[in-house]
Amino acid sequence: MCGIVGIVSKDNSNVVCDIINGLEKLEYRGYDSAGLAVIDSTGLRRLRAVGKLENLVNKLKINPIYGTIGIGHTRWATHGKATEENAHPMVTKDVALVHNGIIENYKELKADLSQKGYEFTSQTDSEVVAVYLQMELDNGLRPREAFRKMLQAVRGTYAFLAIFKAQPDIIFCARNKSPIAVGFGKYMSIGSDVGSISANCSEIVYMDDGDYAEVTKDGAKFFDNGFSTIDKPRVAVTDDLVNLGKGEYSHYMIKEIMEQPSAIRKTLLGNEVPKEFFDKISRILILACGTSYHAGLVGKYWFEKYLKLPTHVEIASEYRYRSPVIEDNTLVLVITQSGETIDTLEAMEYVRKNNNTCCLAAISNVLNSAISRSADFVFHTEAGVEVGVASTKAFTAQLTVLAKLAFCKNPELLNQLQNLPMACESSLLLKEDIDKLSCRIKDCANAIYLGRDNLYPIALEGALKLKEVSYIHAEGFAAGEMKHGPIALIDDVVPVICLCPSGSMFDKMFSNIQVAQARGKNIIVFTDSMGGKSFDESVEKIVLPSINQELCPILYSIPLQLLAYTVTVLKGEDVDKPRNLAKSVTVE
């Protein structure tokens, strides 16, 4: 979602270029406008632009601004369309503010401010906060008192940064359900994403819900929601927090696809499961969104088969709205790439409030994220920074952790997991074959993905990957359900992408493919050498390495990612930043 950056120079140098660099690191989150504000000798200066960040950079070339303190923002439209008037920062005569989140009571605040004679130039909820601050300044309050009074007046989710003309050496910031971190290093910095500020920091402080901070060139003071001073632990910045760029690759997505064998190896080295972890567990509840939800669906197959524990998988954004019953002795396992997904955080909070006997565990790619800090146990996916909006290496790392959990009492399968990275490396060598295959798909309007057993969730994930980056409408189905509706879509044009490795489900899946082949000519089968012998030249085959069928969900995810990537590049779309999507969903 929206990204925010704030910088205070330690040596009175211009911070504009560093703010732009920070905003560039946030582009992957998704946005439709960008802007920044600084304080110079004349007061507040602001510049905004609709569209790509380069539009803001071009404006800066024509109308350069300078300042030793400033805030920047990339906006993903919620209240109000993507226009310059609705772009952040929101500025009044004495204050500039950026905001990530939703102000739930903005209408009543706006009505009150309008009645008092204040005017608005945007349709955003965020401008109401800036105008409220201006009102309190007009009432004679100093910036600190005005900011604190505002925090008591607003309801909703937020990460706020504000600078005041009357106090040009402080950035005021606060967090509630929207991520924010403070960096110590070359300069004092604040970011909604650690990656946006980590390159120039040696240490990071993660703010928690209810925290408020005042940041100057000399450091930062932190306060709780009662405005009492608190100490916050600093975390050293390590390589896994720093976005190291695309390197030799043309896009982040292909770079991250290629990094999967390494990510899986690193994830296998850690995440040891305590022997007694499941001793008092009678059932498992998995909460996740999007791609992480698909990982959870695979986990359900594994947990029930190898741990004999009833497992339910819920979409986190729906879970707390249906008054679910949470039974005692339940392991609640949340899965998240960013560790900041608002729906998953809210689902965790619901669990905490309604059953304090549950064990809350998290699988996260960001060790010090809000979800990691809230969980009783954390299993860390060692995927490193993932920039591409479409999750790839984080997904297979999540599956790797789920496999280690599910197979913790099965030494043979745990041992076979060690062969997985090499098999994944071999699957990446299929890229040229998949490149050729992509030409058959790039001009299609629809696609069908079919899988059975633990590959059904991978059919869902493969379809999601294709539609989120290439904009081709794709749906995944359990192959046995094909006759219950999806078969009506099959013709000679629609690609039917089938996951069919040899193993216990091969005959069933082969039969489903024959049904599809009788009705269409664009049948594509992902299989292994044994399974491939059963298919003639009338179907397009991609032959993957042979591997234990329980590990196929991880291996078969990779060529589907490559397929989505290549199709998107052939179509000329922005594969790393697909339209309307955000990497981390921090607003409901």
Helix/strand/coil for 581: coil
Maximum distance among all alpha carbons in the chain?
Answer: 82
Residue 496: what residue type?
V
Choose, from 2, 201, 424, 498, the residue flagged as catalytic.
2
Q: Using CA atoms, how far apart are residues 283 and 408, in angstroms rounded to an integer?
A: 16
Q: Using CA atoms, how far apart are residues 465 and 394, in angstroms rounded to an integer?
A: 13
| Sheet-wide strand order for 283-288 | 311-315, 283-288, 330-336, 359-364, 377-380
- Give the DSSP H or E segment for 359: strand 359-364
Helix/strand/coil for 381: coil
Q: Using CA atoms, how far apart are residues 443 and 441, in angstroms rounded to an integer?
A: 6
Q: Using CA atoms, how far apart are residues 578 and 336, in angstroms rounded to an integer?
A: 20
Q: Using CA atoms, how far apart are residues 79 and 536, in angstroms rounded to an integer?
A: 55
Residue 367: what residue type?
L
Q: Using CA atoms, how far apart are residues 287 and 315, in angstroms rounded to an integer?
A: 6
Residue 261: what residue type?
P
Pair of tokens at residue 239: 């390589």
Measure Cα distances from 128 to 454, 513, 569 in Å.
49, 57, 41
Q: Strand 446-451 to strand 377-380: parallel, antiparallel, or no bridges (unpaired)?
A: unpaired
| Sheet-wide strand order for 43-50 | 43-50, 33-40, 69-75, 3-8, 188-191, 181-185, 201-206, 235-236
Q: Using CA atoms, how far apart are residues 536 and 510, in angstroms rounded to an integer?
A: 12
Please indicate whether residue 583 is annotated as part of the active site.
Answer: yes
* Phi, psi dihedrals of residue 18, rounded to the nearest 5°: -70, -35
Sequence-ordered list of residues with C-beta below 8 angstroms from that of 140, at least 6 positions apart, any chain: none
- Give the DSSP H or E segment for 553: helix 552-571
- Axis crossing angle, helix 393-406 with helix 290-306, rounded to the nearest 10: 20
- 467, HSE (Cβ side, Cα atoms, 13 Å): 17
Q: Using CA atoms, how far apart are residues 178 and 207, in angstroms rounded to an integer?
A: 10
Catalytic residues: 2, 583
